[in-house]
Structure 1
């Protein structure tokens, strides 16, 4: 496998727009895949709402979709660090596409039951863990380190447009026309992503991380120790540990609200299926705008100010939706603040982590971090469903925002103590080395990855 591309000098404007052919195919595949994911994210709750109106049962779709992050993230991280990452992505997309084709056939003949929706959500998320982990781990092998903000900004833009802006309204429109259509569409997106990934041929198409501990003749590390190594690295790191803790609490609070947003839109805002998709698209415009300017904001403000400002703005906007959000336009404006902040946060967190993580730990650091961050999602969705059932559909927004705000107040002192050397990603484009924790600091030329 080729070593990471190193370039400590700040990128010129021309260079920022040229990240290489292989990266172009990767971000294109990721864009297509996330568009399909956005379609299915909007479709599954609607499908469940046609079977039941119980907010707890509908919220369990979100629980099932996020539960693999809690149960399977660490084993998936081991796979990402053991095997060729490009081939792992190819096989994952093929499996997800086959699963969607089978489910679409069942839906076409009216054989869908609620437990099938839960199972589909669980299996698709499992595939996304492998695909996303391998994809993000490859980025520093495709672009220079000084361009990580640019590369991650494009990834976040693609993800925001696909999952939040274009995918949900497309999914609801297809669902309104014919129930199985969004399922067929999602299956086709996996096939298209597969074909694009096959065009990546850098390093002769091989992206196998170097693992001396797995060489022949050496005792293989125990699976449990190997799986938890990335998580231990993050938890002992004073920068990555704080980022992961803040993201986990933010996710918990957000999913308290988002797990019941389809009912909030229908019963509080008074919109139908098509209106719900348009509402989701409008709410995502902030995320698109935030992703487009995220590179400039991160370079201008730096990691410390981004972390504090985004956390305050996001938590307050969620609380405001629950308190005063009774008209669609009010909810759209407030949610745009939240989604814009999320996009900027994601670029900051990804770039910092990629600079602070060695190549052979990339998959496991990503998996361990995401297990904590995304493992909070099903817990938040589970709690949100019960809060909504007991206190009304506005209550999860208020409670979720309050939880995030409390974490922001508690963690801000630790964030303000970060040094420029500690965060590694400076606005001026300098690069930093990770602090030695559970793992030795990487040599020059080693890889880095994102939680």
Structure 2
């Protein structure tokens, strides 16, 4: 039984390192949102298409850098990687501030530097999210994911309001300057933190970059759970992107607000996010994660329509409160569902695929809605985005998240291979043949169980797989799969073989007459 209040909304903040990083990230997020207000307000007079490019420039680098960043975060020290990336982003923010104060920050210079910050965000994302499960106990991972979303959305409640007031009182340059200062907290916490030492990988198990990219891609491709989460994200994020891309235009054109009013509207989303995080654990426990995610999509669509068709500031504020609740419900549910099922060896790479879908959806969605608003009108763009969200809700019953508990921790129950030769790490490909004896009444069930074992073999390293029945002996089955190298097969045995894989193989083995017998063969080269 989980400890009392283990999954309460604020329990992860009891962990000292998580709390310090959360607070430092909060300050940084406030700075980022203040800068976003300044950047968008500089471009608001240039039309919807150019205005939407702020979101595009911030999110587009993920399409190019997310997967390499995931590989990098799984291969190097994540703390040092984060220090380097955060330091680089702080330097870019300083340049933005200097140019703004000097009067040399034109639209395309602003977008170019925003693009550089987007590159930093893309490199930062996989390492930052993959670090989270090491900071809190497993039972606190779901509220930790919610707190991560709360962090950004509370910052969204404060940052835009402060940014709008600061732009009105002192000018855009100060939003960039304070953003540069806001990186200091994260840099200090990361520099002082000394995580527990982990055992270094052996030479045989250490991955090369290209092989690591292939392994991560193979894992996602053959993990039904991860694929389903990515599809649900792709059905929510592009429609939701309309809010962030077009709310400045809504404030300026539809509601006739200035920069301070725009900041207050964005602040409503953050206030809604706080309320959403507070009730999320009870909501998810009451109706389940699937219904929570579907309800979030419906609520967000309704909020977009309310902002679209009722040009009253009070109604827009209330609608954005609802959007904030829906936003944090969707993000927390998707992120926690992903993190809870990922093994450590591929966590950052799988998170990179999630960020690719999420940030890429934000960037592409922002561009599409900006173009539609430019040529067909703001109302048409918001209505189309709401329709896309409704489609996501409608198909959700065919893409369940499946809340069943899974065990992604490494398992050492796979017997070590017995060899009379000592292969080198690079030797391969390796063919593994496993013999099973299955009585006729169990054959159909065994074949179905082995189909799930195939997914396990492939996502942990197999490049090909087959199940064969002996023509001379009907109870004898041979499973064959190949792995690129001996080093990768050893990784299958150790860090990649998890409780999930053990359970799948155990289901198949329970239908056999004796313990399976495995043999290993190497390609003979002339």
Sort the Cα spacing of 1:304 and 1:55 in 2 relative to 1 into closer, same or farther, 3 A: closer
1:302 maps to 288
Query: Is 2:159 the counterpart of 1:167?
Result: yes
Determine the C-alpha separation between the residues in 2 that align with 1:294 and 1:320.
23
Q: Is the 8 A contact 1:29 1:197 kept in 2?
A: no
Q: Give the one of 26, 29, 48 matched to 2:43.
A: 48
1:277-292 matches, within 5 Å, as 277-292=263-278
What TM-score, normalized to structure 2? 0.73
2:115 is aligned to 122
Instruction: Evaluate the alpha carbon distance shift between residue 242 and residue 315 of structure 1 in structure 2; reply closer, same or farther with a 3 A threshold.
Output: farther
Contact 2:237 2:362 in 1 (8 A): yes
Structure 1 residues without counterparts, runs of 5 or longer: 1-7, 425-433, 447-451
Is residue 84 of structure 1 aligned with residue 77 of structure 2?
Answer: yes
Alpha-carbon displacement from aligned partner over 1:97-127 (angstroms, at most 9, x marks no partner): 1111122111111001111111121111221
Aligned match of 1:359 = 344
CA distance in structure 2 between the partners assigned to 1:298 and 1:442 by the alignment: 30
Q: What displacement does 1:442 show?
A: 4.9
**Rg larger for:** 2
Q: Which has the larger strand fraction? A: 2
From the superposition, tell whether residues 351 and 182 of structure 1 become closer, same or farther in structure 2 (CA, over 3 Å): same
| CA shift digits 1:402-447 (9 cap, x unpaired) | 012112212322217x3624699xxxxxxxxx9836137653699x
TM-score of the pair, normalised by structure 1: 0.85
Q: Is contact 1:19-1:143 (8 Å) kept?
A: no
Deviation of the 1:146 alpha carbon: 0.9
2:242 equivalent in structure 1:
256
Query: How many angstroms apart in 2 are the aligned matches of 1:201 and 1:404?
Result: 43
> What is the aligned-residue RMSD (CA, Å)?
2.7
Q: How much does 1:290 deviate?
A: 0.8
Change in 2 beyond 3 A, CA 1:151/1:405: same
Between stretches 108-117 and 406-415, larger displacement belongs to: 406-415
Aligned to 2:459: 438
Aligned to 2:404: 420
Q: Which residue of 1 aligns with 2:475?
A: none
1:430 maps to what in 2? none
Structure 2, unaligned stretches of length 5 or more? 409-452, 461-491, 502-526
Q: Is the 8 A contact 1:317 1:335 kept in 2?
A: yes
Greater RCO, CA 8 A, separation 6+: 1
CA positional deviation for 1:75: 0.9
Cα deviation per residue 1:56-91 (whole Å; 9 max; x = unaligned)? 112112211110111211111111111111111111
Distance 1:18 1:403, change over 3 A: closer
8 Å Cα contact 1:211-1:360 kept in structure 2: no
SS of alignment partner, residue 399 of structure 2:
helix
1:129-148 aligned within 5 A? 129-148=122-141
| Cα distance change on mapping 1:27 and 1:11 into 2, 3 Å | farther
Cα-to-partner distance string for 1:235-281 (whole Å, 9 max, x where unaligned): 44333322222222322112234322212211101101111112211
State how many pairs are aligned.
Answer: 418
Q: CA deviation at 1:161?
A: 0.7
